[in-house]
Amino acid sequence: MSQLDGSIVLIALPAIFTGIRLEPLEPQNVGFLLWMLMGYRLVQAVLVVTVGRLGDMFGRVRIYNAGFLVFTLAGVALSFDPWRGSGGAIWLILLQHRAADGLGKAPQASTYGIQPDGGHVMGWANPWVLTGLIGGAVALIAFLLIERRMKAPMVNLALFRIRAFSAGNLAGFTASLARGGLQFMIVIWL
């Protein structure tokens, strides 16, 4: 369902922007375009391990049902956008994030990094972006060090020593990266 939802949002972007009367390719609106494209995936990437662990602790069915309820309610609320223009875009982005935007800053910083910043085509030199990327890297290292010492870790890092497991994850990552890039070009630019 998550893959489907991400693809649906991508395919529907031209209609979404028409509905809120916003031209996504104008320089001042590119940020809205990028957040709508990447916001859902950002939250998904940030929460997947935590929600998986909650499923282990409280039961997968219970967590799945709670997630499905949040997903459904936010999806219904998305269809009732009361604003137009940039206000409408902000409404959609906030609901799309499913109230988890403030959780793990490196993916968020990378979203800002590919947006125009000041007189630059991209924002990789922006201090906020650099802080987010460096902070995210430090947090990842701390997470790995802490997880190695836990009796019941959120992620069993020993799995990555299994060659087939690591190769499968790498293949899945590269396939998702390629699919996302292709969808972006097909839907937005063509």
> pLDDT over 70 for what percent of the chain?
89
Residue 103 has pLDDT above 50, yes or no: no
- Confirm whether 87 is domain-assigned: yes
pLDDT tens digits for 28-58? 888 888 888 777 777 777 788 888 889 889 9
User: What integer best gives the mean pLDDT of the chain?
Assistant: 83
Per the rule left: phi > 0, alpha: psi between -120 and 50, beta: everything else, 117 is: beta
pLDDT for 153 equals 87
CA 20/CA 17 separation, integer angstroms: 5
User: Is residue 115 situated within a structural domain?
Assistant: no
Question: What one-letter code names the amino acid at 83?
Answer: W
Domain that holds residue 89: 1-103
- DSSP symbols for 89-147: HHHHHHHHTTT-TTS-HHHHHHHHHTS-BTTBSS-TT-HHHHHHHHHHHHHHHHHHHHH
For tokens 């870790």, what's the residue? 153
Question: Which residue reads 């269809």 in tokens?
Answer: 79
Does residue 160 form part of some domain? no
Domain annotation covers residue 92: yes
User: What total number of domains does the chain contain?
Assistant: 1
- Measure the CA dihedral 156/157/158/162, to 10°: 110
Mean per-residue pLDDT, 5-34: 84
Which amino acid appears at position 29 of this protein? N
Backbone angles phi, psi at 120, to 5 degrees: -95, 150
Q: Which of 44, 32, 37 is nearest to 10 (CA)?
A: 37
pTM for the whole structure? 0.62
pLDDT > 90 fraction of the chain, expressed in percent and rounded: 21
pLDDT value at position 162? 97
Q: Does some domain include residue 162?
A: no
Alpha carbon distance 11, 36 (integer Å): 12
Supply the angle between the helices 163-184 and 2-19 in degrees, to the nearest 10: 20
Asked whether residue 101 carries a pLDDT value surpassing 60, the answer given is no
- Determine contact, residues 53/154, Cβ cutoff 8 Å: yes
Residue 113 inside a domain? The answer is no
The answer to whether residues 22 and 30 touch, using CB atoms and an 8 Å cutoff, is no
- Model pLDDT, residue 98: 46
pLDDT at 117 over 80: yes
Taking only the tens place, the pLDDT of each residue in 118-163 is 888 888 888 988 998 898 889 889 989 998 998 888 888 999 999 9
Residue 148 domain-assigned (yes or no): no
User: 58 and 147 in contact (C-beta within 8 Å)?
Assistant: no
Q: Is residue 141 part of a domain?
A: no
Check residue 122 and give its pLDDT. 86
Cross-strand pairs, 120: 117
